[in-house]
Copies of this chain bind each other. A is one copy, B any other.
C-alpha cells in the first residue's frame, strides 16, 4: 500500500536522522561546538561523513537541529505540566519541576542548551536570532504566571519581565549544579530548594 511504501522510506530517514542527532548531541555536549568534528559525529552515528551532509546542510545546521528538537520537546512538556497546576504557586513549582525532570532524562541536551543559552545575551557575531524566539516563548510563559500571581495578590508586585528572567536563570543555575556534577541524587531536593529560595528569599521574614 502507498502508506506502507512511503512509511518505509520515512522510517529509514527518521532512523538515520535520529541516529545522527543523538550522536551530534553527545559529541557537542562532550567537546563543545568548536572542538567537535563532523568525523567524530559520523563515526559515533555509524555512518560516513558524507552521509551527515545528506541529512544536514552544515555543521551549524546540525547543531541547531539538535538544539531545536530538544527545546521543542522541553517546552511541550513544561506547558503540559503547567496546565495541570491550579494555583500560581503550583504553577511556579510545576515550571521548576518539569524542567528538572526533563533535563535529568536528557543530560547531553542540557549541556548544549546551557552553553548555547549563555552565548545568547552576548549578542556576539554568532547570534542566533531564530533561537531568541524559542527562549522568549518560555520567558513569556513564566511572565504570565507572575502577572496572574500579582493580580491575585499572591505575589509581591515587581517588574514582571525582569523577575521572570531572574527566575529563569536561577533555575538554569541550579540545574547546572544538579546535572553537571554527575550527581545521581533525586531532583526533589534541589526543586524544593529553588522554589523556597524564589518564594521566600533568604531573609528572616
If the complex has contacts A169-B173, A170-B169, A176-B121, are A202 and B199 also in contact, measured as CB distance less than 8 A? Answer: yes
A187-205 contacts to B (CB < 8 Å): 190, 193-194, 196-205
If the complex has contacts A169-B169, A199-B202, A199-B203, are A162 and B177 also in contact, measured as CB distance less than 8 A? Answer: yes
- Convert A153-175 into 0s and 1s, putting 1 for each residue whose CB lies closer than 8 angstroms to a CB of B: 11110110011011101101110
B contact residues around A118 at 8 Å (CB): 114-115, 118-119
Q: Are A200 and B203 in contact (CB under 8 A)?
A: yes
Q: Are A156 and B35 in contact (CB under 8 A)?
A: no
Query: Which of A30, A89, A124 has the most C-beta atoms of chain B within 10 angstroms of its own C-beta?
Result: A124
User: Residue A43 at the B interface, CB < 8 A?
Assistant: no
In the complex this chain forms, how many copies of it are found? Answer: 2
User: Residue A84 at the B interface, CB < 8 A?
Assistant: no
- Taken together as a complex, chains A and B put the C-alpha atoms of A196 and B181 apart, in Å, by 30
Known interface pairs A111-B122, A166-B194; 16 further A-B residue pairs with C-beta atoms within 8 A, sorted by A's residue number: A30-B124, A32-B122, A35-B124, A114-B121, A115-B119, A118-B118, A123-B180, A149-B202, A156-B204, A165-B173, A169-B170, A170-B170, A170-B173, A173-B173, A200-B203, A201-B201
Show 22 A/B contacts (Cβ-Cβ < 8 Å), sorted by A: A30-B124, A31-B125, A34-B34, A35-B125, A89-B203, A111-B122, A114-B118, A115-B119, A146-B202, A153-B204, A155-B203, A155-B204, A156-B200, A156-B203, A159-B193, A163-B193, A165-B177, A166-B193, A166-B197, A169-B169, A169-B170, A199-B202
**Residues of A bordering B, CB below 8 Å:** 29-32, 34-35, 89, 111, 114-115, 118-119, 121-126, 146, 149, 153-156, 158-159, 162-163, 165-167, 169-170, 172-174, 176-177, 180-181, 190, 193-194, 196-205
